[in-house]
Amino acid sequence: MSHGTGRPSSALLTDKYELTMVQAALRSGAAQRRTVFELFARRLPDGRRYGVVAGTGRFLEQLRDFRFGEEELGFLADHDVVDAATIDWLADFSFRGSIHGYAEGEVYFPHSPLLTVEATFAEAVVLETLALSTLNFDTAIASAASRMTAAAGGRPCIDMGSRRTHEQAAVAAARAAVIAGFTATSNLEAGRRYGLPTVGTAAHAFTLLHDTEPDAFRAQVDSLGTDTTLLLDTYDVPTALRTAVDVAGHELAGVRLDSGDLLAQAHEVRAELNALGATETGITVTSDLDEFAIAALAAAPVDAYGVGTRLVTGSGAPTASLVYKLVRRTDDAGQWHNVAKRSAGSKSSIGGRKRAYRILDEGGAAAEELIVVGDGQEPPEEQRYRRLQIPLVVDGEVVPEHIGSQGVAAAAERHAAARAELPAEALRLQRGEAAIPTRFAGA
């Protein structure tokens, strides 16, 4: 499953109908029509006030590997997925169109055009599934993660969710979490692939493995030094705490609580650590946290939050519900037409290519998401605004700085800035409406 680069092909991570549409469009001649597809969300996850764009870098990384090699073509031919003319077209495929979009870390709202893909129909439609899979998952995680880091204030949040989601999704989740302000991950592959800081010390099994808890703590400190975190809740927390300080001394970097009433325990453990002179020893809590539990611990003496299940499952919104829609195309004469599904219901869309601007008030706070359709005017010059779409792929060439492993630190900075720009109520955890309104112009 490679295509001469040594990297696996991403081309079959695709719904069959993308390829049968290519086949039928090659036959009808419409495959070569120029098109504009847009990727957007009709709504934010239930009750959320903003979303966070993530996955674009991973999509671009996989776009380079979206090639149909011998193995992929052999599968398609052997299983009659598409006809011989389509196989020939796919064999020569490499994306030569252009893609603009929101940068990773940027916040978004309903109908924000997160990606705008301009290419022939055949070239644009085959990217649909991969683009949606990548952005839907990563954006869901980043959107949840941002609420957690906001709730945590300045305290570090650490991704410990790998075991609760698909093993490759776990790597992407770590990346999305860091974009949204998490400081580190437990996932080693995420560390290797994306250069993220990794953390981890020991589990209950390590304590249970040894004959006694003091044996276990001594074994850990002997090997990992006092710059480690001892897990207190295998047997009895107060006993474990005294053992920990006895074994590691006041230099002990941290202790961890992974069960029970974290609020009460944090206060008790802090008081006891202080009483024992271990005033610099930090407390990490890690049991079933989400943004609400983190917020509830704001007044507790907690130094770091380890977040697992609720992070990697999007804290109730495991997908961002992004869609990828044809909004504009040429006809046989080369004339452009705006197009949109018109059938009744909530799934209708707005035809025409969109440009997006974050309108800022005089103080620099976000006031409005302006989406200009077609030939509509840019915001007036006296208006403060940011242009939200940047070039990601130009005539088939991916802009290197946005590729997966390159952009994480920049995306994290961008997210912090974009979130800080939002009105204060955007960070409320209660269910609510989008933090700023979206306005269409020129539609």
The encoded tokens of residue 440 equal 């269409």
Cβ 339 to a copy of itself shortest distance, Å: 4
276 near a copy of itself, judged by CB under 8 A: no
**Torsion 179-185-188-192 (CA) sign:** positive
Residue among 69, 110, 156, 200 that touches a copy of itself (CB under 8 A)? 200
Contact call for residue 223 and a copy of itself (CB under 8 A): yes
Among 4, 92, 154, 211, binds a copy of itself (CB under 8 A): 211
Q: Does 167 bind a copy of itself (CB under 8 A)?
A: yes
Identity of the residue, 71 or 427, whose beta carbon is nearer to a copy of itself in the bound complex = 71
Q: Does 304 bind a copy of itself (CB under 8 A)?
A: no
User: Is residue 307 a contact point for a copy of itself (CB under 8 A)?
Assistant: no
136 lies in the site for a copy of itself, by CB under 8 A:
yes
Task: Decide if residue 103 touches a copy of itself (CB under 8 A).
Answer: no
One DSSP character per residue, 85-154 reads HHHHHHHT----SEEEEEPTT-EE-TT--SEEEEEEHHHHHTTHHHHHHHHHHHHHHHHHHHHHHHHTTT
CB of 340: closest distance to a copy of itself in angstroms? Answer: 7
Q: Tell me: does residue 42 bind a copy of itself (CB under 8 A).
A: no
For strands 336-338 and 322-330, give the pairing.
antiparallel
Among 134, 149, 281, 284, binds a copy of itself (CB under 8 A): 134
CB of 41 to a copy of itself, least distance (A): 12
**Beta-ladder partners of 366:** 360
Q: Does 54 bind a copy of itself (CB under 8 A)?
A: no
Q: Which of residues 174-193 bind a copy of itself (CB under 8 A)?
A: 186-189, 191-192
Using the rule CB under 8 A, is 69 a contact of a copy of itself? Answer: no
Using CB under 8 A, which of 36, 114, 127, 132 touches a copy of itself?
Answer: 132
Question: How many residues at the interface with a copy of itself, by CB under 8 A?
Answer: 111
Cα–Cα dist 257/303, whole Å: 12
Residue type, 198: T
Nearer to a copy of itself, 111 or 358 (CB): 111
Tell me which residues in 79-98 interact with a copy of itself (CB under 8 A): 79, 81, 83
Tokens describing residue 302: 């907690």
Q: For residues 32 and 334, give the distance between their C-alpha atoms in angstroms, rounded to a whole number.
A: 10
Q: Which is nearer to a copy of itself, 285 or 436 (CB)?
A: 285
CB 317 within 8 A of CB 45: yes
Please tell me whether residue 315 binds a copy of itself under the rule CB under 8 A.
no
CB count within 10 Å of CB 277 equals 11
Instruction: Check binding of 236 to a copy of itself (CB under 8 A).
Output: yes
- Residue 183 or 422: the one with the smaller Cβ distance to a copy of itself is 183
Q: Does position 233 bind a copy of itself by CB under 8 A? A: yes
For a copy of itself, the closer of residues 209 and 271 by Cβ is: 209
Task: Determine contact, residues 97/6, Cβ cutoff 8 Å.
Answer: no
Integer Cα distance of 99 and 156 in angstroms = 35
Q: In this chain, which of 171, 178, 278, 311 binds a copy of itself, going by CB under 8 A? A: 171
Q: Which of the residues 375 through 434 are near a copy of itself (CB under 8 A)?
A: none
- Strands 254-257 and 107-108, bridge-based pairing: unpaired
Q: Tell me the two tokens of residue 27.
A: 């036959």
**Cα–Cα dist 7/404, whole Å:** 14
For residue 443, give the 3-state DSSP assignment: coil
The Cα 290–Cα 296 span in angstroms is 10
Stretch that binds a copy of itself, among 209-217, 245-253, 368-376, 419-427 (CB under 8 A): 209-217
Residue whose entry in the numeric block shows the structure tokens 């957007």 = 40
Q: Is the dihedral of CA 81, 86, 92, 94 positive or negative?
A: negative
Minimum CB–partner distance for residue 240 and a copy of itself (Å)? 9
Scanning residues 252 to 271, which ones bind a copy of itself (CB under 8 A)?
A: 258-260
Does residue 334 touch a copy of itself according to CB under 8 A? no
Give burial (CB, 10 Å; 0-12/13-18/19+) of 432.
middle
Q: Rule CB under 8 A: choose which of 73, 77, 110, 206 binds a copy of itself.
A: 206
Name residues contacting a copy of itself, limited to 138-157 (CB under 8 A). Answer: 138
Nearest to 45 by CA among 142, 143, 132: 143
